Amino acid sequence: MKRIPIRRSCGPCEACCAVLSVDEIGKSAEATCPHQLSLLETSGPQDRTSGCSVYATRPLGCRTFQCLWLAEADPKLQKYARHRKAPRLFGPSDRPDLSGLVFHAPAVGAPAMVSVVREVWPGVSETEAGRGLIERYSARRVVVLICGDRRTLFGPSEELEKVTELLGLSKRKEG
């Protein structure tokens, strides 16, 4: 079956500003970015943000970051996924400011097979929609949910065995 290419852009989403660390400005994942004009509130997708006050000169880490929702629309990755007949992992409503979950590639030094997911607002990973999205993603690959100091691993059983041993993390789901 012919696959129609997808196009995506961040649009009004600024979820990564709220949950990721930016070394250049000393921002930790938990810290508020001083340049985010209006922060994401913690109650859900209806609360909007309104931009970066230093957008034109924002750090390289901010310029180059792509969450996995956005990266899935990269033409090269789409070509690769088509070639491998890999199913799409995300839909339009999974954009991080709507789903409340930011999936991203592992940090430098972490095993390449483990993606990361972070909550935009606390508790969203425990909602039906949040759990559903994590389960859909982790049916095919390993992902670690980071909530403060807590790390929880999801993924297919054979992959989980390897990663759990490697990282000493708690295993949450076998699929």
By CB under 6 A, name the binding residues for ligand SF4: 10, 13-17, 22, 33, 35-36, 52, 54, 58-59, 62, 65-67, 69-70, 95-96, 102
Contact 88, 144 (CB under 8 A): no
Contact 4, 85 (CB under 8 A): no
Q: Smallest gap, in angstroms, from Cβ of residue 1 to ligand SF4?
A: 27
Close Cβ partners of 6 (under 8 Å, ≥ 6 residues apart): 72, 73, 78, 88
Find, among 93, 141, 91, the residue nearest to 117 by Cα.
Answer: 141
- CB nearer ligand SF4, residue 96 or residue 155: 96
Q: Smallest gap, in angstroms, from Cβ of residue 145 to ligand SF4?
A: 16
Q: Smallest gap, in angstroms, from Cβ of residue 149 to ligand SF4?
A: 22
- CB nearer ligand SF4, residue 99 or residue 138: 99
DSSP 115: E
Q: Smallest gap, in angstroms, from Cβ of residue 140 to ligand SF4?
A: 20
CA 81 remoteness from chain centre: 18
What's the start-to-end Cα distance of the chain, in Å? 27
- CB nearer ligand SF4, residue 36 or residue 138: 36
- CB nearer ligand SF4, residue 65 or residue 147: 65
